Amino acid sequence: MSRGVKLAIVGATGAVGQEMMQILEERNLPLEELICLAAPSEVGTKLSFKGETIIVQSADEKVFKAADIALFAVETDISNKLAPLAQKNNCLVIDNSNAFRLAEGVPLVVPEVNARDIKDHKGIIASPNCSTIIMVVAINPIYEKYGLKRVIVSTYQAVSGAGVAGIEELDTHIKTYQAGQKPIPKTFQHPISFNVIPHIDVFVEDDYTKEEMKMVYEARKIMHAPELRISATAVRVPVYRSHSEAITLDLESPATVAEVKELLANAPGIIVQDDITNNIYPMPLYASNTDEVYVGRIRTDISGDNSIALWVAADQIRKGAATNTIQIAEEVIAKNLF
């Protein structure tokens, strides 16, 4: 590794942590050292990175003293426990959990949208919920040029959003169903094979789920639009990887479909796939293992006045988690903000 930043991954053996390591292999971050951290039961595990073997360590104060930046890919309770320890030892935390996303004074960042907020960090930067990231990348260029009065979004979320357990449950339920038996749900509220479940996370105020309200509050913070009206419906679907979203936007200023297509085609992090003559539009199967947000089915919402409808797909493990975190780190390193 070339002379540069000492970077730690907290949760390196998990799904998002492993994805981070793969993406770091692909991208050219100036790393002096990669430090892999995980739960005590994983300590001693050998991981491979750029032809080297890295031994997994336990996250403690001594390790954070030796690191410049730590990417957190762990549950909220672990982030709450360990992030202040890293912060105290001048190790910048970029956190994937829900621990700090709405905390006052913690930037919530999607680099294509609000990289400028990174400079305001006080030792912790939060990466948003995967569905929020996908949505704001797609709609922020429209918001900035035409303004938004209202956003209505329905998500179609892959089972891998629930981790390895979600993938295994879909596998099991497909086999059980095909064997003529009744699947028994454990990870999800109902059988997931050949089904869609309009229930992700717990129900909260006004009969919305926590997942749905995350999209509301996080998007407002990221886009600096505290009054933006957003209504979300989050649905689990029997897809292994990559989330999709149907989004309807009420605009403040008039825009044609052609203008919106051109705007999005030139926006960072977006690939427009919109050729209905040849059946080309975003789909999770083809968005998987990529870092872009794909937007298509761009059309006038015929039920509204000055409204546009979009269909969006993106890999929620990469752009929705690991890649977004690494993109934040790239901005931090490039501007020496750690």
Catalytic residues: 130, 243
Alpha-carbon distance of 92 to 331, in angstroms, equals 13
- Given a contact cutoff of 8 angstroms between Cβ atoms, the answer to whether 106 and 92 are in contact is no
- Which of 274, 245, 81, 48 lies closest to 161 in space, CA to CA? 245
Alpha-carbon distance of 119 to 190, in angstroms, equals 44
Q: Where are the alpha helices (DSSP H) in the chain?
A: 15-26, 61-66, 76-88, 111-114, 130-146, 164-178, 210-222, 257-265, 284-287, 323-334
Taking CA atoms, 2 is separated from 18, 29, 50, 105, 242, in Å, by 21, 9, 12, 33, 33
- Which of 322, 262, 328 lies closest to 295 in space, CA to CA? 262
Alpha-carbon distance of 176 to 193, in angstroms, equals 9
Burial class (CB in 10 A: 0-12, 13-18, 19+), 302: exposed
Strand-strand pairing, 307-314 and 243-251:
antiparallel
What's the N-to-C CA distance of the chain in angstroms? 20
Alpha-carbon distance of 228 to 223, in angstroms, equals 9
DSSP 81: H
